[in-house]
Amino acid sequence: MTGSIRLFTPHPLHEGAELPASAEQAHHLGTVMRRAVGDPVTLFNGEHGEWAGRIAALRKDRATLSVQLLLRPQIPDPKLTLVFAPLKRDATDLVIEKATELGATRICPVFTERSNTQRLNADRWAIIAREAAEQCERLTVPVIAPPAKLWDLLSAWPPDENLSCAIERSGAPYPHPQDGPAALLVGPEGGFSPSELEFLNRLPFVRRIGLGSLVLRAETAAITGLALLQAARVPR
């Protein structure tokens, strides 16, 4: 058996710790991946770095994991926020997954005047984000904020934190290099309403950005915008 499975755990990590796996993780280890006692695992919890471990005990719906060696110390993530209007289920799932892979530290779903999604599943989003973090080898899982109205979220936005707003056909430039926190706002399919655009224009921390000459689907805009913001970070 080659390679170790990477798992997120909510428990503290330190040498010699014995941690319970969730029933879902135990099923994945034993039934799906055919792993056995003694096989390696890699563990992270968003606070204590990444650790090498092994399966200490394994049954159908339970497992114990032993923590052995620190592989990577915890380092702070550059703050990157995605604010987006939820889409249909598959498209929203894709946004959550790719935002995690692109380093988003906070994901904020918002209701806009043209939002057409009423049924939201925050528990499902949390699972998607966790699994994406396990796969892409990041040390943290992004925080997914409770859904809020666009007006309410932006009324409480920190005035010293820029919010890059992707608006189609605006002729705005690509994101400029910047240091510090970064944030992206993407509207729903059909774009922002005139009253929302007027509201955004009055906010001094909002800056319009362009994503190219083509009109993108909302999920593509979110992924592209996050990639551009990451590329525009000032190297340290």
Find out whether 56 and 20 touch, Cβ atoms under 8 Å: no
User: pLDDT > 70: what percent of the chain?
Assistant: 97
Q: Residue range 12-25: average pLDDT?
A: 97
Q: Cα 157 to the chain's mean position, in Å? A: 19
With both helix axes pointing from N to C terminus, report the angle between 89-101 and 122-136 in degrees, rounded to the nearest 10: 40
129 closest CA partner among 111, 144, 108, 139: 144
| 148, β-bridge pairs | 110
21 closest CA partner among 1, 45, 2: 45
Tell me, letter by letter, the H, E, C secondary structure of 167-205: CCCCCCCCCCCECCCEEEEECCCCCCCHHHHHHHHCCCC
* The pLDDT value given to residue 1: 47
The count of other CB atoms within 10 Å of the CB of residue 149 is: 13
pLDDT digits (tens, 9 = 90+) for 170-220: 778 888 877 889 999 999 988 899 999 999 999 999 999 999 888 899 999
76 closest CA partner among 50, 46, 56, 55: 46
Give the residue, 211 or 13, on which the prediction is more confident.
13
The structural domains of the chain, ordered by start, are 5-72 (2.40.240.20), 80-231 (3.40.1280.10)
* The pLDDT value given to residue 188: 92
pLDDT digits (tens, 9 = 90+) for 127-149: 999 999 999 999 999 999 999 99
- pTM beyond 0.85: the answer is yes
